[in-house]
Homo-oligomer: A and B are copies of this chain.
């Protein structure tokens, strides 16, 4: 079965993926930061049973991923695949993860909140991803009765999540706007509109390969549908700006040179660091979107981006770090091949 990230979806030229996350908490247990060991076990058991009882009505069955016994590499790989937050894997005992086979649905238990429901989809699919997350929320709520206040909405540990508990994010590829140096200004404007633009792995992280997360910041005082519509409408504007900037850049010989050299290097290098790979695949992706490179698909690129992440790559065979960059180069060469001219 293909993982969700091995495919591409609507608006794939700019939108890599959609993520919808709902923060929920159990009514009768303190927030995770204040739980006792016993309460932690109780939380895990309660959620586990709720997932078990809901399996029949769930869109996709969820598998339990034991966090205690997971290797460090496997745990980091979860973060690389955006299935768990960096914070979630730092302290694994007493935490649990539920996962659908295509990895599009996950439930973190015992992160900042008791339950974090997450649905990921390829491309721009805010409505559908929210509908799926909401269905899972309903199914679990039948037995868990999530903490809800008629004035504050869903109760969460951090006040910024109060209300809908919804965070919707779009992973955007913005190489042309980044090249143009306008993202700082755009990010500033967005914060006034209740949105944030951040690096690839969330708050404080770098934008690797010109990948940015655009998310709603406000969850209190407006409905889920309003938040999603707001995010979608602004994402469309950024997309148009990015497309216009790409079209202009793609006319320039030095940009074409940069794009084709990036492809040439990816197709021929014997050693590729993760950082270099992301930089070059970003250029290649821009080449694909502007029609300069017709023979490489977004699916191939997306699969490679996940496959070549340091921990994810090393899971399939323990290799010394020194050989990691050589293995990455090999994977990339195999995937991108060499087009006959």
Contact = CB atoms under 8 A, between A and B. Distances in A.
Interface in A187-231: none
Contacts of A341: 333, 337-338
5 contacts: A253-B270, A267-B268, A337-B341, A338-B338, A338-B341
A253 B326 contact: yes
A50 interface: no
Interface stretch (A166-174, A178-186, A256-264): A256-264
Contact of A271 (B253, B264, B265): B253
Contacts of A270: 253, 256-257, 260-261
Given A257-B269, A265-B265, A333-B341, 19 more contacts: A254-B271, A257-B270, A257-B329, A260-B268, A260-B269, A260-B270, A261-B265, A261-B268, A261-B269, A261-B270, A263-B268, A264-B265, A264-B266, A264-B269, A267-B268, A337-B341, A338-B338, A338-B339, A338-B340
Contacts of A256: 270
Nearest to A322: B253
A261 B269 CA distance: 5
A269 B260 CA distance: 6
Interface string A298-341: 00000000000000000000000000001001000100011111
Contacts of A271: 253-254, 257
- Which 6 A-B pairs have CB atoms at the shortest separation, nearest pair first? A264-B268, A264-B264, A257-B270, A260-B268, A257-B271, A256-B270
Contacts of A257: 269-271, 329
A339 to B, nearest CB: 6
Contacts of A339: 338
A298 B121 CA distance: 51
